[in-house]
Structure 1
Amino acid sequence: MKTLLAREQLSPEVLADPYEAIPLQSYLSIFEAAAELAGDPLFGARLGFGMRPGNLAPIGLRAVQAGTIRGALTAFARWSGALQSATQSSLTEEEDQLVFTYRLTAPVLIASRQDTEFSLAAVSRLIRGAFDPRWRPLEIRFTHPPIAEKPRLEALFRARCAIPSPSMPSSFPPPRPTGASRRGPGHDRADRAASAGSDRRCGPRRKPGHQVEALIELYLGVRPIDLPTIAAALRMAPRSLQRRLAEEGQSLSGLLRRQRQRRAEVLLRERGLSVEAVAQALGYADGTVFWRAWRSWTGEAPSRPAPN
């Protein structure tokens, strides 16, 4: 790995921080070179299917907490876009099926096959591990050129892999037997199926306020939420982010306060957690600090609903 990093003029120290920003071109180059050195054209896909929710940092954990396949895909699309400035994921509905799409939004000069197959494999592994080990997509559509390993790739995904011309859009919808509303262990409700895919079309640029809200929701109770941390995640200078938020009539403290209040209401009233547990989930030092914050929001003391 040190050799690959040196080839891209990157320090080995970037491996110490999972949130460290790496230029897209370097990331793709390292991924493709690693597959070549390993002698495994399916390196990215195999790596993706070996991932667990915790390996995907807060995104994987928040996606599992969504409770359903549909919710997990929605969460993954929302938060991956906030963390990764050069990629975009989206969830749409087409003819009674959900289509999850993954795309690179920045122009690239090198192959991106390993990244694409890794990303879709990681999403598939997330669904199988958290909701239904039998889940499989109906079809996966890639944009990279035809590959000799297509049968083996289909065996990994347990689905047909369509590899169209680069001008065609890409996506993959799953079969109807596995529901998008399928819940984790202990639940059996199901309706329509989920989906995933990849292409390279650029989407609309999100406003900083929306990105900051998504990052706050993702980091809350997991990472410190301050201007330097959020600005670094968005590849911006802290003062630039502060100015951009002010132009929208927003501030980091205001967005954080609103997100904490919304999350606190859910944790207290729907899940019945204690004040101390809610304080920890919201990143407060202790229950007393949260108690004061809640009192300032509502004028009342925080309390759990009485048991039936």
Structure 2
Amino acid sequence: MRGATLSNYAEVAGQVGLDAAGMLKRFGIDRRVLVDQDARIVAEGVVDLLEASALESGCETFGLRMAESRRLSDFGAVSLLITHQATMRDALMSVVAYRQLVNPALVVEVEEHDDIVVVREELLLTGHGTMRQSYELAIGVLYRMFRTVLGPRWRALSANFAHAPPADLTVHRRLFGPICEFNSDFHGLTCGRADLDAPNPSADPNLALLAERYLRSLPATEERPLSQDVQKTLYLMLPIGGAAIGRVAANLGLNERTLQRRLAAEGADFAGLLNGIRRELAVRYVANAALPLSRAADLLGYARQSSFSRWFAEEFGQSATAWRQSGAGRKADFLNL
């Protein structure tokens, strides 16, 4: 990901009594990224840095505090295109289309249900528990992008977090107002469909065209393995019942046989990738004590809870109920630091 991900990290670290340079060094991150927004950083290092910063400072809202002062320019070259798109929908699709230039580890998915739009965010990293700080940073930045395009009076219908609420909601209320929903099925925002199609008062079609041409002229990023695209698709489609191989292949513009053949050439297979994503999401859902296990089963693609229970016991060595009661999810988050 880009160095801009850590914009104002030093400022927030100083506010909560941390040595920013020392923390960066501990996680193998060159402190020059604080002034070079286009420097490349390993995503896993950033996730671990933010979680450790929150833990050691005792500040549960560390990531959200970073989001509070973010600017659209932190999106880099894509920011000019976002600024001058005709509608919020077009601006959001720019982020989706050029995510490799913004944050390759973060996927944004837009789902429309009648008059309600769900904007989901997923971090494509494995073995990092809830990644609470990174998700709060991402959702806060997304919210600020909406308000930059639609104006400071715009409000989402809800800001959704899959984790539990912090002890103190002051920062959340300061940024989002009274719309935060915790222990949710997903990370992201909901808004009205009309918000996406509202005209952008700052739009300039000529500048948008120039920005698009510039972005297309940039050197292509390193081609990703197909397995990564399959994982991204599974993260997004599994919770909404769309993880069948045929639907995943169609989403990627392939037929099933081509998908299987190309995965095999990479030493991967669809069933293994699906099970890996299911395990990652199971840790999130089952660790959430406010989420009924029947709902967790549904989000993981099981029509019957009994099938989910058998799978979970085989994968984790105990029932989902026993795993939840043991606090294994919270222990996993701690060990990831």
Separation of aligned partners in 1, 2:211 and 2:125? 23
State the SS of the aligned residue for 2:189: coil
Q: Does 1:3 find its partner at 2:13?
A: no
| In structure 2, C-alpha distance between the alignment counterparts of 1:18 and 1:61, rounded to whole Å | 15
Aligned pairs (5 A) from 1:62-73: 62-73=81-92
Corresponding residue to 1:31 among 25, 50, 58: 50
Q: CA deviation at 1:133?
A: 1.1
Residue in 1 that maps onto 2:152:
133
> 2:139 touches 2:188 (CA, 8 Å); kept in 1?
no
> Percent of pairs identical after alignment?
23
Query: How big is the shift at 1:173?
Result: 1.0
Deviation of 1:102 (Å): 0.7
Taking the TM superposition and a 5 Å limit, the aligned residue runs for 1:5-24 are: 5-15=24-34, 17-24=36-43
| 1:172 partnered with 2:165 | no
Q: Is the 8 A contact 1:49 1:124 kept in 2?
A: no
| CA displacement 1:227-249 (0-9 Å, x = unmatched) | 6xx33xx579xxxxxxxxxxxxx
Q: Cα RMSD between the aligned structures? A: 3.2
Q: Which residue does the alignment assign to 1:144? A: 163
Q: Does 1:184 pair with 2:184?
A: no
Q: Which runs of 5+ in 1 are unaligned?
A: 188-216, 237-308
Indicate the SS of the match to 1:98. strand
The match for 1:74 is 93
- CA separation of 1:219 and 1:181: change in aligned 2, threshold 3 A: closer
Match of 1:221 in 2: 214
What code does the residue aligned with 1:141 have? N
Aligned 8 A contact 1:5 1:30 in 2: yes
CA contact (8 A) 2:78 2:101 kept: no
Q: Tell me the CA shift for residue 39 of structure 1.
A: 5.1
Which amino acid in the other structure matches residue 93 of structure 2? T
Give, in whole Å, the separation in 2 of the partners of 1:103 and 1:52.
21
Distance in 1, Cα, partners of 2:138 & 2:199: 22
Change (3 A) 1:226 1:69: closer
Matches within 5 A, 1:1-308: 1-15=20-34, 17-36=36-55, 40-81=59-100, 83-150=102-169, 152-164=171-183, 168-175=185-192, 179-185=195-201, 220-221=213-214, 225-226=218-219, 230-231=221-222
CA gap of 1:110–1:19, structure 2 versus 1, over 3 A, is farther
1:201-252, Cα deviation, whole Å (9 max, x unpaired): xxxxxxxxxxxxxxxx97743697336xx33xx579xxxxxxxxxxxxxxxx
- Alpha carbons of 1:100 and 1:81: their partners in 2 closer, same or farther (altered >3 Å)? farther
Q: One-letter code of the match for 1:53?
A: L
For 1:153 and 1:66, the matched residues in 2 are separated by: 28
Residues 219, 225 of structure 1: 8 Å contact kept = no
Measured after TM superposition, the shift of residue 118 of structure 1 is 1.4
TM-score between both structures, scaled by the size of structure 1: 0.55
Query: SS of the residue aligned with 2:197?
Result: coil
Q: For residues 55 and 110 of structure 1, do their structure 2 counterparts lie closer, same or farther at Cα, with a shift above 3 Å needed?
A: same
For structure 1, which segment, 142-151 or 90-99, has the greater mean C-alpha deviation from structure 2 after superposition?
142-151
Task: Assess if the C-alpha contact under 8 Å between 1:28 and 1:111 holds in 2.
Answer: no
Please tell me the residue identity of whatever aligns with 1:2.
Answer: A
CA distance in 2, matches of 1:170, 1:11: 29
Cα distance change on mapping 1:223 and 1:23 into 2, 3 Å: same
CA shift for structure 1 position 81: 4.9
**What TM-score do the two structures reach when normalised by structure 2?**
0.51
Q: Secondary structure of 2:146's match?
A: helix
- 1-side partners of 2:103 and 2:202: how far apart? 34
Q: What secondary structure sits across from 2:117 in the alignment?
A: strand
Structure with more of its chain in helix, by fraction: 2
Equivalent pairs counted in the alignment come to 201
Task: In structure 2, list runs of 5 or more residues that go unmatched.
Answer: 1-19, 204-209, 226-337
Aligned equivalents of 2:211, 2:47: Cα separation in 1: 25
Separation in structure 2 between the aligned mates of residue 120 and residue 63 of structure 1, nearest angstrom: 17
Following TM superposition, by how much is the alpha carbon of 1:16 offset from its aligned partner in structure 2, in angstroms? 5.0
Tell me the secondary structure at the aligned position of residue 173 of structure 2: helix
- State the Cα distance separating 1:95 from its structure 2 match: 2.5
